Amino acid sequence: MTVLAVLSVLAGVAGCGQQPSGSARSEGSSSPSSSSSGDAAASQSWLLRFDSYVGEDGEGRQATYVTLTPATGTATVVTMRPVEPMQASGGAVSLLVDASHRWALLDSKPQATSDRAKGVVRLYDLSANGAKRAVSVRRLSHDPSLRTDWVSFDPTDAGVLRVVSGRTVWKVDLATQQAQQEGTLPQKTGWIYGGGFAQNTGEPFIEDTGSFETIPAGNGEDSTEPVQRAGGRVLDPLGDEPYGDAPSPCEVSAGFVTSGGDTWAFCVAGRTLQTKVLDEGSSTWRDVGQPTSDVVPTDSDPVFVLPPTQG
């Protein structure tokens, strides 16, 4: 796993409520690709996000991240502070977590106006120590005018952020403490940049105000492309039939299909999680590992599950 080195660090424990429920997860392991790797994948760490809805109109969200090792049932739970209103939406919410699954952003738009003006990004540690860190992207870039207007993680490169400052795009490697200008957002009449990042690349995109067209293409609200990680695809837990033709193993769950065709489901029963697997070519779900109790927030919805990180 990439070791994150940060120039500006806020000392102390974060305001996100961390509740370890067992040992910390293993990292840097290969992602599952077939039923033969199922046992190995069960011994690795999966990351789930649950959202509770807050505010009078429900536009605000409070995220809870559960890092789970199915084989042992151990988990680490980190609850973020509420965000209202939430800017990131759809599959792009997965970009609030870095590729190592260690760090998380509250939202794609830094919450504090002062942070945006000063070029600061705040990160929340999803590992055992639960620290919060403040990164001065302005200082890393050596650009005194840099702002952190919008920010996202790269989904394939651990510890790498993309920052949009005005129309300039910066790529920030937190391990090497370097920020490089990656490009400039195109300008076209009738097109805007609304803070969007492509869910499978982390690249910002502009959108046509009169249609669903985007540059790069395929990122409009009418897109049906799934979130893809480690050669597999993340299932939409709110979809009508998230498991396709296969019978759903439980009423509420988050799911993932590996590149080998095995389907993993993380079933919710009250505050308990139970992992189940439907092997490629099988019609029968099987339990994997131990159930994990007292980790699912009350009155919350699963948002996604991400597979073990690739090493």
Which pTM was predicted?
Answer: 0.87
Q: Report the SS3 class of residue 213.
A: coil
User: Average pLDDT in the 127-148 region?
Assistant: 91
pLDDT for 27: 35
pLDDT higher than threshold 80 for residue 157: yes
Contact 40, 213 (CB under 8 A): no
* Helix/strand/coil for 264: strand
Q: What tens digit of pLDDT does each residue of 47-96 get?
A: 999 999 988 777 789 999 999 999 999 999 999 999 998 999 999 999 99
Give the pLDDT of residue 111.
Answer: 93
Angle ∠(131,137,140) on CA atoms, nearest 5: 110
Q: How far apart, in whole angstroms, are the C-alpha atoms of residue 106 and residue 150?
A: 12
So what's the pLDDT on residue 30?
39
- Reported as a pLDDT band with limits 50, 70 and 90, residue 14 is very low
**Cα separation, 19 vs 296, whole angstroms:** 11
- Per-residue confidence band for 142, with pLDDT thresholds at 50, 70 and 90: very high
Specify the pLDDT at position 38: 58
Buried b (16+ CB within 10 A) or exposed e, 8-47: beeeeebebebebbbebbebebebbbebebbeebbebbbb
* The pLDDT of residue 25 is above 60: no
When pLDDT is averaged across residues 300-307 and rounded to a whole number, the result is 97
**pLDDT recorded at residue 178:** 97
Q: Kindly list the domain boundaries of the chain, sorted by start residue.
A: 17-306
pLDDT in tens, 174-229: 999 999 999 999 999 999 999 999 999 999 999 999 999 999 999 998 898 999 99
Contact 83, 111 (CB under 8 A): yes
In the chain, the percentage of residues whose pLDDT exceeds 90 is 75
Q: Are 294 and 307 in contact (CB under 8 A)?
A: no
Using 50, 70 and 90 to split pLDDT, how confident is the model at 35?
very low
* pLDDT over 70 (residue 297): yes
Per-residue b/e over 49-61, b at no fewer than 16 CB within 10 Å? bbbbbeeeeeebb
What is the pLDDT confidence band of residue 13, given thresholds at 50, 70 and 90? very low
Over residues 98-128, the pLDDT tens digits come to 999 999 999 999 999 999 999 999 999 998 6
